[in-house]
Amino acid sequence: MKVKTVKDQSKNFLTALNEAVDGKYCLRLYVTGTTPRSVRAITNIKRICETHLKGNYTLEVVDIYQQPVLAKGEQIIAAPTLIKQLPLPLRRFIGDMTDSNRILLGLDLRPINNSDDKNGNGR
Amino acid sequence: MKTKPIKAQKLRPLEKISSGISGLDEITGGGLPKGRPTLVCGNAGCGKTLMAMEFLVRGATDHNEPGVFMSFEENEEELTRNVASLGFDLDALSAKKKIVLDHVRIERSEIEETGEYDLEGLFIRLNYAIESIGAKRVVLDTIEGLFAGLPNHSILRSELRRLFRWLKDKGMSAIITAERGDGLLTRHGLEEYVADCVILLDHRVNEQLSTRRLRVVKYRGSVHGTNEYPFLISKDGFSVLPVTSMGLDHPASSERISSGVERLDTMLGGKGFFRGSSILVSGTAGTGKSSIAAAFVDAAARRGERALYFAFEESQNQILRNMKSISLDLEPWVKKGLLQFHASRPSLCGLEMHLLNIYDAVKKFKPSVVVMDPVTNLISVGTEIEVRSMLTRLIDFFKTEQVTAVFPSLTSGDTSISSPSEVGIASLMDVWVLLRNIESAGERNRGLYILKARGMEHSNQIREVILSNHGIGLVDVYAGPESVLTGSARIEQAGREKADIDRRKALMERREREIARERGVIAAQVAVLNAGLEAKIDEFNQEITDETLLDQVNAKSRVNLAANRQADVEPKIKATNGHNRVEAVRK
């Protein structure tokens, strides 16, 4: 893997900044064919996006059986894997997306349940 | 009851593929199982990755079996750089589509588990890599990386089980490396899944010297060496040194070669050592061990054979200079390429490294004679058992290669014939030449005897070694009724004996002269007596003549008288009477 140059990184940062201003989510879901788990993941993520990010996201579903090169390029190990490319930071969600709480947390869409507990008190 | 014999040709034994690692194939009886996964486990820094990499690279270069290296720890660039020191050019191999490197990066902090999943992504990646080059070999290094990155271990376990099954179904000969765990072979109990062949690597430090060891813990469907074998990672890669694989079936030559010291050959039945035998030359400091070794090397070079000299105490130049003092000029042989020196301190590296260096040097130079001077210095590197096992391997190796080896061995203390460690070595040797300081009458001399010489007659006598600028000489000592005399005592004794002989010789000569003189005297006396006798005989003859004349005169006068008297009968004359008497005397 090539190390990204500083220029690239700053460019990414700028784009990310712009995107973040737009608040647009860029998601990519990698699945393996039409296994029940894949289907479940697709429906789950679609539901979450439609509920919480309506009109503010792009979701791309990739079948890595058909594009195995991407598995290496994107460092995919588990399936299904959802990658949140934007807004930064990059995050990976593995599993069939049934744990919507975790996804929402990871997408920074829902504050941690007890906002008082933010500082880690009482844990 | 008759049982049907099992038809051997129908049974197909487990197929094996060469691991490409020297020595490992010997232990495992042919290599790693073909089309099956092998688990290599060990602590950090014991060489798992290198072993796996060598397996792949050798497969790709020597056996035309391309391979996939899936790394969970180092990235492609790091791997390439790390193994470049072993001479593996991964870039070139990748370009030739012989090897695919795939770095799997798992960031725990980026990953969120959101339900059920599997590792199909990994399978697809692996499959893609395998198919892109038609790989036959696969390495997964280190599988622990997955456990660190993915929180759900139960999924991981079942997926790994599936992965190994899948690799087996695809007919991949795989190496999976894993960290060693507490009380377990691997930290996550992987040996339960990948159980066809398990190899354990170990890195131990003993007395500040590290030794790497390898053990085949398990090998389904195959016999294998069960011992711990030392192994090395050197500039030529990974090598295991099996000791038991070398059977005691080396050839035994009956050719004899000269020891380089004439009298020593004489002591050994007049012909010297057997070719391919091991010779221990032991003695305390300064007894001439190295000199005898050098003479042997010199003799070999004179015959046009190659010799290899491993020096653990002196440098090459020092040896060359020192041997010149006993008129052994080894330098021309070095220049001609018949003699090679390998000088190193024993503490430079561990025993195994030494052993490997020796193997390497012998394999490359192909000498017929080897000297290890002094072999006892190696004891400082390892324990006695280790040294002994190393020497056993070394001697076996030399014998297989038909190399005649001389092991000068330093003994401490001069009272005992040998130290215990030496006895351990001695049983491995074919010939044992013992050099000893003999101290008497205020001087020290070197004595040599042959304690043992397998398969040849040898002298039981002590000889004195004389090192001079004429070379090495062995002379008979004076073995008198009281003690053995050497050095000036011997010379003195020899002088005394010579004086004795001289004195007796002079005595005999004088006696001879006396007798000769006496004979002269007696002869003179005989001559005088003879002369006297002659004189007497002459006198007697004269008397007879006179008497005869007288007789005749008398007879004549008697005749005349008778005529005068006119006698009728002539008187008888006996003239011969006197003459007859003379004859009798002469007789």
Task: Tell which A residues from 13 to 42 touch B, by Cβ distance under 8 Å.
Answer: 30, 32, 37, 41
| Cβ density class B430-443: b for 16+ within 10 Å, e for less | bbbbbbbebeeeee
Domain B13-240, CATH: 3.40.50.300
Rounded CA-CA distance B27/B31 in Å is: 8
Domains B13-240 and B263-476 agree in fold: yes
State residue A83's pLDDT score: 86
State residue B507's pLDDT score: 94
pLDDT in tens, B346-365: 777 777 778 777 887 888 88
Give yes or no for A68 touching B (CB within 8 A).
yes
Q: Which of A72, A81, A97 is the closest to B125 by Cβ?
A: A72
Q: Do the chains contact at B121 and A64, CB–CB below 8 Å?
A: yes
Per-domain boundaries in chain B: 13-240, 263-476, 491-581
Rounded CA-CA distance A33/B124 in Å is: 11
Rounded CA-CA distance B127/B163 in Å is: 11
Alpha-carbon dihedral B355, B356, B361, B363, rounded to 10 degrees: 110
Per-domain boundaries in chain A: 23-108
Rounded CA-CA distance B51/B19 in Å is: 9
Q: At what angle do helices B289-302 and B316-324 cross, to 10 degrees?
A: 90
List C-alpha distances in Å: A117 to A9, A99, A111, B112, B209: 34, 21, 11, 21, 55
- Residues of B within 8 A of A78 (CB-CB) are 117-122, 150
Q: Do B130 and B139 contact (CB within 8 A), yes or no? A: no
Residues of B with CB under 8 A from a CB of A: 75-76, 102-107, 110-122, 124-125, 127-129, 146, 149-150
- Considering chain B, what is the average pLDDT of its residues? 81
DSSP state of B6: P
Residues of chain B with pLDDT under 50: 1, 8, 244-245, 414-416
Cis? peptide before A89, omega within 30° of 0: yes
State residue A27's pLDDT score: 84
- Residues of B within 8 A of A37 (CB-CB) are 116-118
State residue A115's pLDDT score: 43
Mutation site, B70, B80, B112, interface A, largest A CB count within 10 A: B112
- Residues of B within 8 A of A79 (CB-CB) are 117-121, 124
- Options 3.40.50.720, 3.40.50.300, 3.10.310.10, 3.30.70.1900; which CATH number does B263-476 get? 3.40.50.300
Beta-carbon neighbour count of residue B30 at 10 Å? 18
CATH topology of domain A23-108: Glutaredoxin (3.40.30)
Q: Which of A64, A75, A82 is the closest to B105 by Cβ?
A: A75
In B366-436, which residue ranges form alpha helices assigned H by DSSP?
A: 384-400, 420-426
Q: Do the chains contact at B121 and A30, CB–CB below 8 Å?
A: yes
Residues of chain A with pLDDT under 50: 1, 114-123
- Chain B: residue nearest A72 by CA? B125
pLDDT in tens, A45-63: 888 888 877 777 888 888 8
pLDDT in tens, B66-107: 889 888 888 888 888 888 888 888 888 888 888 888 888 888
| Cβ density class B330-363: b for 16+ within 10 Å, e for less | beebbeeebbbbbbeebeebbbbbbbbbbbebbe
Which string of DSSP letters, residue by residue, matches B513-538?
HHHHHHHHHHHHHHHHHHHHHHHHHH
Distance between terminal CA atoms of chain B? Answer: 119
Rounded CA-CA distance A64/B491 in Å is: 97
Instruction: Find the helix or strand (DSSP H, E) in which B273 lies.
Output: strand B273-274
State residue B586's pLDDT score: 54
Q: At what angle do helices B384-400 and B351-365 cross, to 10 degrees?
A: 10
Phi and psi angles of residue A64, each rounded to the nearest 5 degrees, phi first: -75, -10
The number of angstroms, rounded, from the C-alpha of B539 to the middle of its chain's C-alpha atoms is: 98
State residue A54's pLDDT score: 76
Alpha-carbon dihedral B558, B563, B567, B573, rounded to 10 degrees: 40
Tokens of B578: 């006197």
State residue B535's pLDDT score: 94
Q: Do the chains contact at A75 and B104, CB–CB below 8 Å?
A: yes
State residue B273's pLDDT score: 87
* Pairing of β B339-343 and β B307-311: parallel
Q: In B320-368, where do the E strands start and end?
A: 339-343
- Chain A: residue nearest B113 by CA? A94
Distance from CA of B58 to the nearest CA of A (A): 25
State residue B584's pLDDT score: 53
Short-list A39, A97, A87, CA closest to A63:
A39
State residue B518's pLDDT score: 94
